[in-house]
Amino acid sequence: SGLNMCMSGSTTSCEECLLIHPSCAWCDFGRGRTLTSRCDFIQNLQKRGCDVQFIEYPKSSISILQSRPLSSKGSGWTPYDVVQIMPQQISLSLRPGEQTWFGLQVRQVEDYPVDLYYLMDLSLSMKDDLHTIRNLGTKLAQEMGKLTSNFRLGFGSFVDKNVSPFSYTAPKYHENPCNGYKAFPNCVPTFGFRHILSLTDKVDRFNEEVQKQMVSRNRDAPEGGFDAILQAAVCKSKIGWRKEAYHLLVFATDDVPHLALDGRLGGLVQPHDGQCHLNENNEYSASNKMDYPSLALLGEKLAENNIFLIFALLSILENNFTALIPGTTVEILDQDSKNVIQLIIAAYSNIRSKVELTVWDHPEDLSLSFTATCQDGQPLPGLRKCADLKIGDTVSFQCFIVEARSCPPRGTDQTFTIKPVGFKDRLEVTVDYMCDCGCTQTAQTNSSICSSIGTYNCGTCHCEPGYLGAHCECQEGEASSMYLSACREAEGKQICSGRGECSCNQCLCYESEFGKIYGTFCECDDFSCARHKGILCSGHGECHCGECKCHAGYIGDNCNCSTETSSCISDDGQMCSGRGNCVCGRCHCTEPGAFGDTCEKCPTCPDACGTKRECIECRLFNSGRLADNQTCQRLCKDKIITVETLKTEDPGAVLCLYKTDNDCVMKFTYSEHASGQSILTALKEPECASGPDALTVLLAVVGSILLVGVVLLAAWKLVITIHDRREFARFQNARSRARYEMASNPLYKQPVSTHFVETDFNMYGKSYNGGLH
């Protein structure tokens, strides 16, 4: 816009100049220069004759303090030799307002040690599941042995708080809560959490301890599982978590856990303190003293101790815990836990297939953003996560220090940590703010340049109270016509823009309850800028002389438009699901019929059936592309209802069909509920045409051939018969005509036949042969 921010501000020192904008520089040499001309763009200062050696223009810099190379394998090394993030320590020297960035790499090494703690709900409804896992240790160790050579297993159990209304508290239930329950008359007393087996590589111990366990009974449906999770996370020494291993906490239950504030129903008003409370019997001693932990506290302690939480839930309890607690996966448990081993292996593979960065101790005055470069090599601005990785893959991230908005008090150390979720490895970042000018080290107090009543610092005089002027030559209150003319921006303009008084050739700007008035002629202020919802510069910028100077990551006249795109990335990694554009941090859907936060909902889109088909395949039949990549749980969050017969009368539902590998037809409908949830109603099984019976086909073919033969034979016989009859009729007709002709012809004479007889005349003594002569 042509605004020179460096000269428009009311800068009185080198430090103030450098805070205006990263492009501003300060010239600390030359007595004849005015106050405002010392603070300007560096090219302008050089044009006016200020040598580079006298220009204060610090630039942000990065120093790598520790950068050990990434490891390729986890076993066979000492714990501290395995490196999964590079670099490990850097130092940043930041000039406020200036952008800078640094890169880091993360690799999931092969054969990394694994600690798995199995936390099981032992309420009465889980008795069948307890029987199923009695030999879980051996089978699980065999399967995990294919993924890591260093595996340890532990076990703990929970029920609920032994207070009313969560449990049966009458005296007759103290020793046997199942007393009077005919279906299962005997069980152990109710308990909150019990740590049974510390992490060990002796998997037979796991089987032995599990076989000793018995179920208990509580009153309400929800369980006290969150109490148990927190104790398993924070009681590190008793559980036996190793620093150099992946920490997996499998939470198996058939019902939802109690949340914070539920404890008040039982008179437990003390919030959970997040500490370990296991007594000498390894039981949770504060179960009946403190409320259940909150999701926020739970997530904090899991992240603090690098624990991946695996929810093994029944399908009817499928909750979005992954969004509420970082580093969490949700897997669907069969009614009797028969699929628990496959579930754990799938969850572990899912965990190892992704890398997500978190920032700890994030300084409030620093604005950070990330760009991820995953296996396809394409940078993804706004993302700090890569998925669908293979073990051993290396991914890169760029961390942009968008700006340091201010200077902390002198001597304040600022540090923050970047670490992948669930990793022990981390990147330590130390921040040093470049807020001081080098020329302040040569400041002269009571300098003759400042009339001996001021300090000469970086080329300017800082006068004692009551004195003004470039050389402290005037006292406050002095005024003359010469001074007054120097206080007008232009002829005819008000003195000091009507917002100050002229004193000793300078404008002394009035104070305002709205903010600061400044400038050579008091022409600027920091409150007359555009607002959004009543907030100056939307709270994402600074007001400079009537214009909003937006913080990095925001644009617009009032800085209300975010350039961040992470909120526009859909679950499948596409920008606005490929159906819209990200504008000001929100998706504007351009595909007709598309809606949702990331345009992910679109029943009428041409690709709607194809997209939902993949979810039907992986969720119902554990097949298809998503099942192979272990991303079904992440991408397919729609509600799926299975039916025997599919109804298609709903006008808002789209009917989808596809052909399966065995030539059957799968049908489902896709609709959007008023609550915003996508509903998929599918047949339980694909429709397959029944195959014909072989004997029936054979008989039908033979019969058809015979029938055709008989028909042809009959037709041939009919034709011959007709032909013969016609010929016979023609013969009879010819014969009758012949008789008539013989009877009526006068020239016709009936032929005569003569016969000769040989006679023997021996009777007369001689023979005579007669003949015709």
Tens digits of per-residue pLDDT, 358-384? 998 888 778 888 999 998 888 888 888
Q: Provide the pLDDT for residue 744.
A: 57
Note whether 350 and 256 are within 8 A (CB): no
Q: Which CATH architecture best describes the domain 61-76+87-110+357-433?
A: Sandwich (2.60)
Q: Provide the pLDDT for residue 194.
A: 94
Say which residues have a Cβ less than 8 Å from residue 101's Cβ, sequence separation at least 6. 398, 399, 400, 401
Three-state secondary structure call for residue 519: coil
CB hemisphere CA count around 574 (13 angstroms) = 11
What are the boundaries of each domain within the chain? Answer: 1-58, 61-76+87-110+357-433, 114-352, 531-562, 606-683
Positive or negative: CA dihedral 625, 630, 631, 637? positive
Q: Provide the pLDDT for residue 594.
A: 84
Q: Position 711: which residue type?
A: V
Q: Provide the pLDDT for residue 249.
A: 94
Cα separation, 411 vs 732, in Å, equals 141
Please report which helix (H) or strand (E) contains residue 701, including its range: helix 694-744
Q: How many helices (H) and strands (E) does the chain have?
A: 16, 40
Q: Provide the pLDDT for residue 282.
A: 94
DSSP state of 33: S
Q: Position 388: which residue type?
A: D
What is the C-alpha R_g of the chain? 48
Cα separation, 516 vs 10, in Å, equals 10
* The pair of three-digit structure tokens given for residue 625, joined into one six-digit string: 């592309």
Please report which helix (H) or strand (E) contains residue 107, including its range: strand 100-107
Cα separation, 337 vs 253, in Å, equals 10
Q: Provide the pLDDT for residue 107.
A: 92
Cis amide prior to 165 (ω within 30 degrees): yes
Cα separation, 742 vs 745, in Å, equals 6
Cα separation, 45 vs 24, in Å, equals 10
The CATH code of the domain at 606-683 is 4.10.1240.30
Three-state secondary structure call for residue 477: coil
For the whole model, what pTM was predicted?
Answer: 0.63
Cα separation, 172 vs 161, in Å, equals 17
Q: Position 86: which residue type?
A: M
Strand partners, 752: none
Q: Position 272: which residue type?
A: H
Q: Which CATH number fits domain 1-58: 3.30.1680.10, 3.90.79.10, 3.40.50.1980, 3.30.479.30?
A: 3.30.1680.10
Residue whose C-alpha is closest to residue 357's, from 308, 297, 302, 427: 427
Note whether 223 and 251 are within 8 A (CB): no
Please give the C-alpha separations between residue 143 and each of 156, 193, 356, 390, in angstroms, as whole numbers: 21, 28, 26, 18
Q: Provide the pLDDT for residue 151.
A: 92
The CATH code of the domain at 531-562 is 2.10.25.10
Cα separation, 227 vs 138, in Å, equals 28
Cα separation, 373 vs 93, in Å, equals 25
CB hemisphere CA count around 91 (13 angstroms) = 8
Residue whose C-alpha is closest to residue 235's, from 193, 206, 201: 193
Q: Provide the pLDDT for residue 457.
A: 85
- Residue with structure tokens 């039908």? 700
Q: Checking DSSP bridges between strand 547-550 and strand 474-475, what pairing results, if any? A: unpaired
Please report which helix (H) or strand (E) contains residue 312, including its range: strand 307-313
> What are the mean pLDDT values of the chain's consecutive 10-residue runs (773 residues total)?
63 81 82 65 86 89 92 65 92 87 92 92 84 83 88 94 90 87 86 94 90 88 91 95 91 88 92 94 94 92 91 62 74 74 86 89 83 88 86 91 72 84 90 86 86 85 80 69 70 83 78 82 87 87 85 85 83 81 89 84 77 81 69 73 80 81 83 73 80 76 90 90 85 74 58 60 45 42
Note whether 25 and 46 are within 8 A (CB): no
Say which residues have a Cβ less than 8 Å from residue 543's Cβ, sequence separation at least 6. 515, 525, 526, 527, 528, 529, 536, 537, 549
Q: Which CATH architecture best describes the domain 114-352?
A: 3-Layer(aba) Sandwich (3.40)
Cα separation, 613 vs 623, in Å, equals 11
Length of the chain: 773
Q: Position 109: which residue type?
A: V
Query: ∠129-130-134 over CA atoms, to 5°?
Result: 115
Three-state secondary structure call for residue 651: coil
Q: Provide the pLDDT for residue 2.
A: 52
Cα separation, 573 vs 593, in Å, equals 21
